[in-house]
Structure 1
Amino acid sequence: MSFEPIKLFYSYSHKDEGYRKRLETHLSVLKHQGIIGQWHDRKITAGTDWARQISENLESADIILLLVSADFLASEYCYDKETAHALKRHEEGSARVIPIILRPCDWRYGVPFNKLQALPKDAKPVSTWENDDEAFTNIARGIRKAAMQFQESMAASVPTTTTPSLPDPRERDTCFVLMQINEIFDEYYREVYAPAIIDAGFKPMRAQGLFGTGTVMEQIWEQIHKANVLIADISDRNPNVLYELGLVHAQYKPVVLTAGSMEDVPFDISHSRTFVYDVRKPGWSEKLKSYVTRQLLRVKENPSLFTLPMHDVANCATVVASNA
């Protein structure tokens, strides 16, 4: 399935134009690959209504980059107009806003976008990196991930030709996937989990696809609460995934467990059904995909089959209390 390039919009102070040009250069590979298209006010031709051009492109953008510096925060147009409209679209879910921290400034306190995940890594300002190529490369990788997430969400919103009877995915029940966030597991999600979830009639979601406001954990808690079923890939005993799995247990949600090795399965949940896949064996991805789809269909028929350790403990405590 092919898609139109994800449209980027740059909101920035003209005093930071040098940084904007450097970032645009580092994003040129994504442009050549057809993943993104870019727009900024320097593309406005002479004689046109610049305010209207900016407004129209801001409204049609998929990803809005806020190039943050003291000059950006001081700009009435950037801060009060473009940022306000960008965050409105972000909260609606029609676009994603990504702050790019260019230079040190007091953006973490009282600024409306201070809870959004910023780039580069750890929100370290570009100007403070010893090698700014490393900073812009880190930013480019983050934008690549964000663009691919948008493409994934578009894929999930279009019924596949192999399952024409399925309803619009936006009207389907949600399956939230707990897994590591890195390039390897990003590929697992795109090639295995998301297609398997769609085949079972659910809408796939994961942490990297969350565009709302609030901290990451607040958004994950909300999505766990909303989800009808979850998948937890507990490979490598990733502490974030195990913590999130604990939140799932606390909410008594049905969950399908997978892992890259039995050694990855903690003792406390070792009695739970876990599908172990071995990436060294031919056909592992198709087997995993088939298993996930079958299990999700079983959840639809009888969610109680996927009882959780916390639920079992609660039931035992109730029995003990009643017999006391």
Structure 2
Amino acid sequence: MAIIFFSYSHRDETLRDELEIHLAMLKKQGFIETWHDRRITAGEEFDKAISKNLEEADIILLLVSSDFLASNYCYDIEMQRAMEKHEQGESHIIPVILRPCDWRSAPFGKLLVMPTDGKPITKFPDKDDAFLEVVNAVKGTITRLQLRQDSTPPSISYGSAVKPQILDIPRSSNLRIRKTFLDRERDQFVEELFEYIANFFENSLAELSNRNPEVGTNFKRIDANHFSAIVYIAGKKATQCRIWIRGTSHLYGNDIAYSSNASGSDNSINESMSIVDDGYALFLQPLGMASFPSQQNMKKLLSQQGAAEYFWDILLRPLQQGST
């Protein structure tokens, strides 16, 4: 069984959790055991626990972001020791680019990073695609580790009947506690959400055009906080929108606004989404202007992908209802 060590910034804990969920099948098959600093129990010495588990790791996942690079502990201690172990053949490093950042000049920049070509996970329209690339990289690494140890290793597949080794101390999976989200966390969430929606629209427009020869599209980044999207049918404008970040000075606070006019002003909106939380995570909540009954839509709590799909459905509605 390979031991996987997560080196990450606590600012990226949500993304780390998502990646660990995607690795669950390898856990169930008995191929891996994972460790990160949230496994440290009361009374343990923080530095000693991290050092011990880092030394025992077969695979070290560097979850890279600007916060990771800025962290003295992640960069100067965990990453430096991980590179030493990697170069000595004691463990294998897989750098995983979570968010856009200046990582190429870092010591691990010479290694093959995930996802492919170093595209940040948050830049994928569907993060599941990115996490699957990381899982496949982990599987490939496990196979290479097995080849070193055994001339006839079992292949890794989702249908494997390998019996897992039970190494975990039994514990509950219900470990969430309520928290208060700071303004900085909300602002960062809005910025990452906007980038996600922009990438989602750009890629979706390209695919829409590829699948429908009579369709033309235009995606435009107006500035850091605005983008527009237009769909043409047989050369005629059929549907359009503009999406942007609204600041905290207006009535509804920091949110994402949608207008059905690609060239309109910020004062005219057809829908917006506010940032809300359930005490555990941040979500998006539609105002309900573009869909009825509005009360039903106002109760929705959407993920990044759910918010992008919601706005995309509004854009495509004239095409799907035939009112172009």
TM-score, normalization: structure 2? 0.46
In terms of fraction of residues, the more strand-rich structure is 2
TM-score by length of 1: 0.46
